[in-house]
Structure 1
């Protein structure tokens, strides 16, 4: 679904309390994407949104509060859909592909997700580690566990350790985008294109299912 631009959001919700908060989050995400960096100040965000910098502190308290709100905004819908995925009346293999594709697409659309999580953990690993686990990590792990169990029950997946599976999928998605500097300096790839993203989804799904699928003798 195409996101609403900052100008469009201003027109739709000018003067509303929710709209003002949303404008600040949109501005933060757009700045991080444009700069390819999470190193943006609260003043930068205020200037991008066209709002007073005092509003950033009013709505979020500090930059960490804004980061948490931004992560919830960009990941919330995907997490909600993922929770429903195990209930869909489709084969487990198809659910797995939807999950992998959704993970990669999230990192592709919002390349700042992983760096922001690391930034929060560097600031206060105990507080934000628990928050990230409860709101993002555990729902992903639970959906994966249920899909794997359904595949085993259907006789199409062999049983695997859900911990190892989680780190295989999430770690692969994380590192492709968080390790972009390696793409550039090791492989001379300067951007993650839509084509590279599709190839990565196909590759990851193929590698994982090769190890998961039950083979008939």
Structure 2
């Protein structure tokens, strides 16, 4: 009985994950979050009726996609805040990780904003409580640590958040423009790493109390 229940639970988890990964792959390929249930079902090889069973509706699935994409980054950010390294180094690691999140899941910001603006309250609450608020609070903690250590000037954490998010959005825009112009998908890895390095350096220089020359 217990073995059967565990097998059934694992099967449900596998099905959920297959829907999530299929939806993510489609949004990346189409450069859009506007994917249909039929497209998702075809990509996953599963019946679209199972989406309602596992997620409630399409917005439930989209919320699960956003949470899954952000999960590893949020776990790493929690650990980073407590790490015994300088706030400047924490911010460097955080910004690099944020760029990587956007690179691997370029739909993440648009998807979260869609859910926050158009979905049912329970999905809005999930995105706000599990992604937006923890992210802002943890990033603000690193900034406060830097200010207290004399490494950062007294910057506005909210403005810093929007600037950082804008830099990540620009990475995705540039990648898509290069893809359209050259008929290849996105930036090369070398160009992405160079962009990430430059953005991280500029942002750190901007918030530093003693900018490096």
Q: Give the TM-score category using the shorter length.
A: 0.7 to 0.9
| 2:69 is the alignment partner of 1:68 | no
Q: 1:143 is matched with which residue? A: 138
| 2:109 is the alignment partner of 1:114 | yes
Q: 2:23 is matched with which residue? A: 28
| 2:85 is the alignment partner of 1:90 | yes
When residues 16 and 132 of structure 1 are mapped into structure 2, their CA distance, relative to the original with a 3 A threshold, is: closer
- For 1:151-177, what per-residue CA distance to the aligned partner results, in whole angstroms no more than 9, with x for missing partners? 122222211111111111122213432
| 2:35 is the alignment partner of 1:40 | yes
Q: 1:129 Cα shift? A: 4.9
Q: Which range is displaced more, 177-186 or 143-152?
A: 177-186
Q: Distance in 1 between matches of 2:205 and 2:72?
A: 30
Aligned pairs (5 A) from 1:145-160: 145-160=140-155
**Partner SS, residue 155 of structure 2:** coil
When residues 127 and 89 of structure 1 are mapped into structure 2, their CA distance, relative to the original with a 3 A threshold, is: same
Equivalent of residue 127 in structure 2, options 123, 132, 137: 132
Whether contact under 8 Å (1:83, 1:143) holds in the other structure is yes
How many residues are treated as equivalent by the alignment? 205
Q: 2:48 is matched with which residue? A: 53
Q: 2:169 is matched with which residue? A: 174
Q: Distance in 1 between matches of 2:57 and 2:102?
A: 24
- For 1:8-38, what per-residue CA distance to the aligned partner results, in whole angstroms no more than 9, with x for missing partners? xxxxx99711111111111111222223332
Q: 1:198 Cα shift? A: 1.2
TM-score (norm 2): 0.83
Q: Distance in 1 between matches of 2:154 and 2:124?
A: 29
Q: Which range is displaced more, 152-161 or 125-134?
A: 125-134
Q: Which range is displaced more, 137-146 or 115-124?
A: 115-124
Whether contact under 8 Å (1:85, 1:143) holds in the other structure is no
Q: Distance in 2 between matches of 1:64 and 1:200?
A: 33
Q: Which range is displaced more, 59-68 or 33-42?
A: 33-42
| 2:94 is the alignment partner of 1:99 | yes
TM-score (norm 1): 0.81
Q: Which range is displaced more, 154-163 or 182-191?
A: 182-191
Whether contact under 8 Å (1:155, 1:214) holds in the other structure is yes
